[in-house]
Structure 1
């Protein structure tokens, strides 16, 4: 590994540890540090993501949930629906109720998910935000787009949560969940792999079950372990799909060395990452470097290892198809 790779690895680990620690807390204790390391990518590239395997909600579900709070009073700093909410408190609560954790502040929420190029491409459930003040670094007002040029917001003191026209072009448009009918998984699973491919039956079965291309699963297995179900990386990643122990636990995989469990768990993780980030390339980057790194860099992180990983897997996937 070159000096550049080592430097990139250090920066990667530092950024992921910082994101794993809740705001205002420290992970300096041995226990916290060990727990955080369990979610950091290893030398073969698989991270602990805490993925549960649940399918992400739709944009329509986000809008439906947000409508429940119409008429609630605005309270600066408010996060309690029994008392009132501010703009980022509303956004955080709506997504939390749907099983998605977002940061507390609007400036951080406006960096979550993936970028949407323009309002012409915005979908219900997307976050739209504005940077209205030079006193703040980043967005200071955020709302949930509901379609047809309208949004739900917690506006300001003296007003209630309401539906209004989008007043101006947002400075930030972010997609947290897949657009309805776009990027969803579970229908066609993708190309089958050759019967001569190791574990072809497992990749095909997981593809049909979760909608993840069998060729993608095969390519990940080849890149991660060389199809070796007993592989263990120096960092502790295990099995055919090189799952870290924390990742495996979050996926309900009790034995990472069991190819059946490993492929099933990796397929669910790749399904969720694809739904979350909207593309196979970003899903692979998150599988390798962690979702936090993809969010931080708003794309494939500038880590040489991760960039090679994505290129290699996509190339093998194309060849297998």
Structure 2
């Protein structure tokens, strides 16, 4: 069942109650605009980080946002819907209405998010890019249809995908239902013991560090699972080290003298995640900051549009769900 914009806004309200955050301002009766949605979503995360809530906008929401501009005249270089839009402005505007920032130029949009292998794997909301070099983009609707601003003299409309795209990009990942857990279950107060971590390597370290830094032990375990597969000797191609894959400079800043020592690594990771959770007040944003750095999260006002980070956050959320988090 697809929630749609109004359904997701209702879910956001529930999450706010569970988190103890201030509720989003009441929307006018019947208001379901992209601006309203993005505002509510931002309030439900860290009060200004749209596009990165626990549920987050879906591909279907992107399609719905784009459909608001059906009939808008095509104007080359146009970015104002009241006057006209070109193809990349339509794509940028639809995503922006839901709080997700994209580049302005079609060729840059064709590198956003992560690649999708083929049209058989495409989902609503994916960006379809055409020609080489890329000079045209649209938003996939489903059933081999897309919404696009085609050419001068035309207007924003739904049309068939008339040729094979040179690139298909997925900016938003659908969050599995299992990950849409009550945020109250992530509260450290409810995870002071190793319950649910039976058989997980280094469970005692996750519990001890989680208690010290007020971080859910299951979240630490999920990060370790994705980062290293619980291998304390792991080294990434970029040079990240140990169980929690800390970069040497980051490790030093956290007071970790040996990232290959599991106890030090978990303690350092817990300290880092605690800082990110307090700063961003959002598990997905804290995970994005752990992967890409807090500066990148601030720069993009949400989960950065890096393929690695876009894939990393849902991976950890899935690992967390598998642990019953």
Query: When the two structures are superposed, what TM-score results if normalisation uses the length of structure 1?
Result: 0.53
Unaligned runs of 5+ in 2: 1-47, 187-195, 235-239, 257-268
In structure 2, C-alpha distance between the alignment counterparts of 1:201 and 1:299, rounded to whole Å: 29
In structure 1, C-alpha distance between the alignment counterparts of 2:93 and 2:225, rounded to whole Å: 35
Aligned match of 1:195 = 204
Aligned match of 1:271 = 284
Matches within 5 A, 1:140-155: 140-155=135-150
Answer whether contact 1:125 1:145 (CA < 8 A) is retained. yes
SS at match of 2:62: helix
2:134 maps to 1:139: yes
In structure 1, C-alpha distance between the alignment counterparts of 2:291 and 2:251, rounded to whole Å: 19
2:231 maps to 1:213: no
How far off its partner does 1:288 sit?
10
**Residues 206 and 151 of structure 1: CA distance in aligned 2, closer, same or farther (over 3 Å):** farther
Please, which of 139, 160, 164 is the counterpart of residue 165 of structure 1?
160
**Residues 261 and 151 of structure 1: CA distance in aligned 2, closer, same or farther (over 3 Å):** same
Aligned match of 1:54 = 53
2:70 maps to 1:66: no
SS at match of 1:93: helix
In structure 2, C-alpha distance between the alignment counterparts of 1:268 and 1:240, rounded to whole Å: 24
How far off its partner does 1:145 sit?
0.3
In structure 1, C-alpha distance between the alignment counterparts of 2:117 and 2:70, rounded to whole Å: 28
**Residues 267 and 196 of structure 1: CA distance in aligned 2, closer, same or farther (over 3 Å):** farther
How far off its partner does 1:213 sit?
2.3
Aligned match of 2:105 = 105
In structure 1, C-alpha distance between the alignment counterparts of 2:224 and 2:66, rounded to whole Å: 38
How far off its partner does 1:185 sit?
5.5
Number of corresponding residues: 223
In structure 1, C-alpha distance between the alignment counterparts of 2:112 and 2:178, rounded to whole Å: 18
Higher RCO (CA < 8 A, seq sep 6+): 1
Q: Deviations over 1:279-311 (max 9, x none)?
A: xxxx9764599689x967x659xxxxxxxxx9x
**Residues 237 and 178 of structure 1: CA distance in aligned 2, closer, same or farther (over 3 Å):** farther
Aligned match of 1:29 = none
How far off its partner does 1:166 sit?
1.0
SS at match of 2:204: coil
Aligned match of 1:25 = none
Q: Deviations over 1:158-203 (max 9, x none)?
A: 1110011111211100000013648955479895661344414478
Unaligned runs of 5+ in 1: 1-49, 132-136, 242-255, 277-282, 301-309
SS at match of 2:203: coil
Aligned match of 1:84 = 84
Answer whether contact 1:114 1:176 (CA < 8 A) is retained. yes
In structure 2, C-alpha distance between the alignment counterparts of 1:260 and 1:284, rounded to whole Å: 7
In structure 1, C-alpha distance between the alignment counterparts of 2:241 and 2:308, rounded to whole Å: 25
Aligned match of 2:275 = 262
SS at match of 2:140: strand
In structure 1, C-alpha distance between the alignment counterparts of 2:70 and 2:161, rounded to whole Å: 16
